[in-house]
Amino acid sequence: MTVTPLNTTKSQEIFTAAQTLMPGGVSSPVRAFKSVGGQPIVFDRVKGAYIWDVDGNQYIDYVGTWGPAICGHAHPDVIKALHESLDKGTSFGAPCAQENILADMVINAVPSIEMVRFVNSGTEACMSVLRLMRAFTGREKIIKFEGCYHGHADMFLVKAGSGVATLGLPDSPGV
């Protein structure tokens, strides 16, 4: 069986240009695929369970946007709801009624949850939980899983990585 290598010429051109604009050429090191011996692939579009790069290669998206694409990409019901929401505005920077609706849905879906706090990223969620737990317990030390990613704050990046692929070593100085 012969395996034909993928043509990723456009991805490489875009990544080369990105390296002059962003440190490492990406907004997050995991997107460069360096920790698993890969090269960055620049993606162009997504639909359902599939994702296409700028060179026209089609992939099955096993990553699912790192979690939030549980309905697949561009699901018609999600697109419709997004359009309805976007027609009202893109960002308020203040409370809105939809927060109550979502909070109620989360609380009703998980009976042990009494209240929720919405944040913008997984990093912010981890930082908020850490702050809450340190205040509640009075403890200063934390425990984290070595070789695992818990967010992009310095305290979480110590001994982060892809397990055996990086041996838990940070891939940049300053951590």
- In which band, very low, low, confident or very high, does the pLDDT at 161 lie, cut at 50, 70 and 90? low
For tokens 């309805």, the residue is: 84
DSSP assignment of 92-150 equals -SS--HHHHHHHHHHHHHSTT-------SSHHHHHHHHHHHHHHHH--------TT---
Q: What is the Cα Rg of the chain in Å?
A: 20
Q: What pLDDT score was predicted for residue 164?
A: 47
Could you give the percent of the chain with pLDDT greater than 70?
90
pLDDT in tens, 48-85: 999 999 999 999 998 877 777 788 899 999 999 999 99
Sign of CA dihedral 20, 167, 30, 40: positive
One-character DSSP codes across 47-96: EBTEEEETT--EEE-SSGGGTT-TT-BT-HHHHHHHHHHHTT-S--SS--
pLDDT of residue 163: 47
As a whole number of Å, the end-to-end CA separation of the chain is: 44
Residues 6 or more apart from 160 whose CB is under 8 A from it? 147, 148, 149, 150, 168, 170, 175
Q: What is the pLDDT of residues 102-148, one digit of tens each?
A: 999 999 999 999 999 999 888 999 999 999 999 999 998 888 887 77
Kindly tell me if the per-residue pLDDT of 165 is higher than 60.
no
Phi-psi region of 46 (alpha: psi -120 to 50; beta: other; left: phi over 0): beta
pLDDT digits (tens, 9 = 90+) for 2-18: 888 899 999 999 999 99
* CA distance linking residue 42 with residue 33, whole number of Å: 11
Give 88-96's long-range contacts (Cβ < 8 A, gap of 24+): none
Domain ranges for the chain: 1-90
Q: What is the pTM of this model?
A: 0.68
CATH 3.90.1150.10 given to domain 1-90: yes
